[in-house]
Structure 1
Amino acid sequence: MFKHLLVPTDGSALSGEAARMAVGVAKAFDAKITGIHVIPEFHLLTYDTEMLADTPNEYVRHARKHAERYLAFVEQIATDAAVLCETTWVVSDHPYQAIIHAAQERHCDLIVMASHGRRGVQGLLIGSETQKVLTHSNIPVLVYRSQ
């Protein structure tokens, strides 16, 4: 049924649990997975130049290091389960768009991602990337929620 799953990760424990579930689904369907992490673009807003701590190059280096660590986790659990896995990271201020684009570009037939369950004012202010993926994707989305 499913042959290629896209597994977005933000490095949280919940996205790690979703990745474990995705690996289980992939194993059951003899599918492969692609882990993805979306890095926000570098922005600089300050009223005091002494507050400048990161340059764009330092930011990218730091963000890539985090992305590689998050994606290494996905790759390791896939390898442990004998599931084919590749990983990628992209830079975008709109994670949901980057996730959908990656799924389309890589011909994925399922997106498996976590939902942090933000509701009310917090959900309104922070937004839900999972909700946006659900709303805008033509590819099926399997949402993992904490027990």
Structure 2
Amino acid sequence: MYQKILITTDGSSVSQHTACAGVKFARQMGAEVLALFVAPEYQYPVYVEIVPPAYPSEEEYVQQMKRLGEEYMGSIMRAAEGCGLKHACMTAFSDAAALKIVDVAEQQHCDLIFMGSHGRSGWGQLLLGSVTNKVLSHTTKPVLVHRLIREPGT
């Protein structure tokens, strides 16, 4: 049914549990896995003339975020490899994570977006906003939302 599934992660324990569920789902479908971490865009210092000595350059920031993304997606890659699934990972940069997820799903020809929800409802969902809700409202692709009933470790 699904050939290529995009699994998103932000590195949190909730998204790591969701990613594991995504790999299990991909195994059931016999689908390829594409793991995605969306890092924020590089932010230049407010006063460009006076750059603090500890402030990373844009190149350093990009390399650091790519390393972080590989770390976050490592468990997804190991799980997919253990299941014998074709897999790849990608770090993308955007301050609008939801739109980048939708864009990557289109560009990489994914059949399904698999992502998590923290399970917030009511005011919490309204006030905090949700990448998942934004993805749902901006894509025409199917989105499977994996909802954790309670935080991992509780």
* TM-score, normalised by the number of residues in structure 1: 0.88
Instruction: Give aligned pairs, total.
Output: 146
The offset of 1:146, in angstroms, is 1.2
Q: Do the aligned residues in 2 keep the contact of 1:118 with 1:128 (CA within 8 Å)?
A: no
- Runs of 4 or more, structure 1, over 3 Å off, are 44-52
Cα distance, 1:117 vs structure 2: 3.5
> Identity, % of aligned pairs?
34
Considering only aligned residues, what root-mean-square deviation do their CA atoms show, in Å? 2.1
Alignment partner, residue 152 of structure 2: none
Note the alpha carbon deviations across 1:30-74, whole angstroms, 9 max, x for none.
111100111110114557855863332222222111011112221
CA deviations on 1:68-94 (whole Å, 9 max, x unpaired) are 111222101111121211111111111
Q: Whose helix proportion is higher, 1 or 2?
A: 1
Within 2, Cα distance between the matches of 1:5 and 1:122?
Answer: 26
Alignment of 1:126-141 (within 5 A): 126-141=128-143
Structure 2 regions of 5+ residues with no counterpart? 150-154
Gaps of 5+ in 1: none
Contact map agreement 2:45 2:51 (CA 8 A) in 1 = no
1:19 maps to which residue? 19
What is the TM-score with the length of structure 2 in the denominator?
A: 0.84
Aligned to 1:71: 73
